Amino acid sequence: MMMMKMVVVMMMNVFFAGDSQEYSCEFGSGKYFALCGFGGILSCGTTHTAVVPLDLVKCRIQVNPAKYGGIVQGFRVSMADAGVRELGKGWAPTFFGYSMQGLGKFGLYEVFKIYYSIALGEVILVSVNQSIRNF
């Protein structure tokens, strides 16, 4: 447990310069991991969902290039055929799927970063940090 605290303090010194800063949560706490996971949900889920209309038109152009032509014509034809709501087709599975991917990428990255830092030990961590700085 003492080694874990030393690794966490060392990582905080690397990532957060200065002692006078106030933090919204403690590094390595459950709240910290939850916020990292939430950040992943927001970044991956929303950005991929925002591109759904473009992806829909791109797929329609690939299937029927004569009808849909380019991107602008593809948007016009799609909206004329079925309205604006048609452009959002498939947003829900995209949002939830990529949100889970973001949760895993952002949240679990932080969990494993701390876990493997503790597992490898302080000596290996220090030697890696020195070799990175010398690179």
Q: What pLDDT, in 10s, does the model give residues 7-36?
A: 555 555 545 555 556 667 888 888 888 889
* Tokens, residue 30: 């459950």
Q: Is 21 exposed, middle or buried (0-12, 13-18, 19+ CB in 10 A)?
A: exposed
Q: What angle do CA 128, 135, 18 make, to 5 degrees?
A: 65
Q: 35-39, 62-66, 122-126: lowest mean pLDDT where?
A: 122-126
Give this prediction's pTM. 0.65
DSSP states along 34-103: HHHHHHHIIIIIHHHHHTHHHHHHHHHHHH-HHHH-SHHHHHHHHHHHH-GGGGGTTHHHHHHHHHHHHI
**pLDDT the model gives residue 10:** 53
